[in-house]
Amino acid sequence: MRSTRLTLCTGLMLATALTPTAYAADGGGGIAVTPSSPAPGTDIALRVSDCTARTATAVSAAFVAETRLTGTDGTLIGETRIRTSLKAGSYGVTVSCGGTDRKAALTVVEGSPRSDTHRPTTPASPVAPVHAGGGGSAHLADVDTAVNAAEDARAAGPGRGHAVIGLILAAAAAVAVVLRSARRSTRRSRRTD
């Protein structure tokens, strides 16, 4: 789980660094948006610099949901999606960072989302109901039984078949060593003659 999160953050930072960035007209307060002019339905990355907190929150009428930004060393990143029902225009973005609010403007353009934009790995909102109760977890009993059987087999160690194969391989290695030694001694005796 931790390595997946690290990989996603690294990919997001790389995509943010390589994609054209838009800064807000009012100086941006250190808020960067990638891609610079998203269309409705596009996934975007947000980057806030010079923030002393470890987390921040970004909100906008253009976003499908409030966005949490995280990071270290004063740079926080996060991702969200532009609402699909949005009309082209300028929308305000407010980032709450360390007790202060920073404001910026985001320009949404007409069109459909570009296919080469970064896509978040998780949806911005729930996509299906959660299975609850015994009916939704019944299949877990079968999975648990299979996992326990595999763990028992591993705990028992190698069986008789493994031991036989190991002995055969050890014998083959010993024969190879003996034959090679015999060849070497034959070669040496030929050289000295």
The edge-to-edge listing of strands for the beta sheet with 22-23 is 22-23, 31-34, 43-48, 75-81, 67-72, 55-60, 89-97, 100-108
pTM of the model: 0.45
Average pLDDT of span 128-155: 58
Average pLDDT of span 59-65: 92
pLDDT reported for residue 54? 87
Q: Name which residue leads in pLDDT, 41 or 8.
A: 41
pLDDT band at 37 (very low <50, low <70, confident <90, very high): confident
pLDDT higher than 90, residue 171? yes
Least confident of 78-82, 113-117, 143-147: 113-117
| Structure-derived torsion over alpha carbons of residues 14, 124, 41, 3, reported in degrees to the nearest 10 | 20
pLDDT higher than 90, residue 170? yes
Whether the Cβ atoms of residue 49 and residue 74 lie closer than 8 Å to each other: yes
At 78, the amino acid letter reads: G
Number of Cβ atoms within 10 Å of the Cβ of 86: 19
Q: Name which residue leads in pLDDT, 97 or 137.
A: 97
pLDDT band at 73 (very low <50, low <70, confident <90, very high): confident
Q: Name which residue leads in pLDDT, 26 or 126.
A: 126
pLDDT higher than 90, residue 175? yes
**Both tokens assigned to 31:** 């808020």
At 81, the amino acid letter reads: R
At 25, the amino acid letter reads: A
Instruction: Scan for tokens 């000295």, then name that residue.
Output: 192
Whether the Cβ atoms of residue 76 and residue 69 lie closer than 8 Å to each other: yes
67-72 vs 31-34, strand pairing mode = unpaired
pLDDT reported for residue 91? 92
pLDDT band at 163 (very low <50, low <70, confident <90, very high): confident
Percent of the chain past pLDDT 70, that is, above it, reads 61
**Both tokens assigned to 42:** 């596009």
pLDDT reported for residue 126? 55
